[in-house]
């Protein structure tokens, strides 16, 4: 964070190279998070560019109450929310699409490769805050305290969103397992 602060000061003083370095420092991780949120490379790259531009133009008002990374991610998440909100409405997750193993430990079968795309679809069907929390916790490996800071909620709320997200995903799989069991 100290290194980021130094680059921020230099950027505000007019050093363009300093902001280029900030971009290079954070671009890959930010891109990965955005890709998981929106599901395609083009949108992820576009959102990432917009997030950095917004960060640059707002650097003068960055109050340093959080790290630059958290602040940047917050900008990106808010931008992604608006993009993904419209797209998620168009997606439909049908429980019939869930292919389940005949293994009695049905949920363990999720580890099978072909279930990846189904889990992705189920993720797309989650409410936005739950999906974002799940992505940040599991794929972004952020602690609940960091997630709370990013999403500007309490740690308890972040944990609750995470729990609800996981339960919903599991419910989709369990309903499918039950349907499969009833058919056989």
Partner 1 sequence: MSGCAQKSLKELLPAYREGGLAGQDLRRVEEHLAKCTDCRAELSLVTLLAEEPVPDPGEAFWLAFPGRVARAVQEQTSPAAGSRARRWFAPRFALGAASLAVAVLAFVAVLLLRPAPLRIARVPSAQNTPALEDVLQTEPVSLSDMSASELAAAAAWANSAFAPIREAIRENLPDEGEQDLSDDLSDMNSAELQRVSIMLDRQAPSRRDRLHSDRSPVAPEPCFV
**What is the binding site for partner 1 (CB under 8 A)?**
16-17, 19-20, 23-24, 27-28, 31-32, 35-36, 41, 45, 48-50, 52-53, 56-57, 105-108, 110-111, 115-116, 119-120, 123, 134, 137-139, 141, 144, 159, 162-163, 166-167, 169-170, 173-174
Q: Give the shortest CB-83-to-partner 1 separation in angstroms.
A: 17
Q: Give the shortest CB-132-to-partner 1 separation in angstroms.
A: 13
Which lies closer to partner 1 via its Cβ, residue 97 or residue 108?
A: 108
Q: Give the shortest CB-24-to-partner 1 separation in angstroms.
A: 6
Q: Give the shortest CB-45-to-partner 1 separation in angstroms.
A: 7
Which lies closer to partner 1 via its Cβ, residue 13 or residue 65?
A: 13
Q: Among residues 128, 10, 140, which one has the least CA distance to residue 70?
A: 140
Q: Give the shortest CB-183-to-partner 1 separation in angstroms.
A: 18
Which lies closer to partner 1 via its Cβ, residue 60 or residue 183?
A: 60
């Amino acid at each position: 964070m100290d290194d980021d602060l130094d680059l921020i000061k230099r950027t505000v003083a007019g050093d363009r190279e300093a902001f280029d370095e900030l971009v290079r420092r954070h671009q890959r991780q930010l891109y990965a998070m955005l890709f998981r949120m929106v599901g395609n490379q083009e949108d992820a790259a576009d959102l990432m560019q917009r997030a950095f531009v917004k960060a640059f133009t707002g650097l003068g008002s960055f109050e340093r109450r959080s790290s630059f990374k958290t602040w940047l991610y917050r900008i990106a998440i808010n931008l992604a929310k608006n993009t993904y909100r419209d797209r998620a409405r168009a997606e439909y997750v049908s429980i019939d699409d869930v292919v389940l193993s005949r293994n009695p430990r049905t949920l363990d079968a999720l580890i099978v490769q072909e279930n990846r795309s189904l889990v992705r679809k189920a993720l797309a069907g989650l409410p936005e805050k739950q999906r974002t929390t799940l992505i940040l916790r599991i794929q972004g490996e952020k602690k609940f305290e960091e997630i709370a800071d990013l999403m500007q909620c309490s740690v308890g709320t972040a944990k609750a969103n995470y729990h609800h997200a996981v339960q919903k995903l599991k419910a989709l799989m369990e309903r499918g397992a039950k349907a499969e069991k009833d058919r056989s």
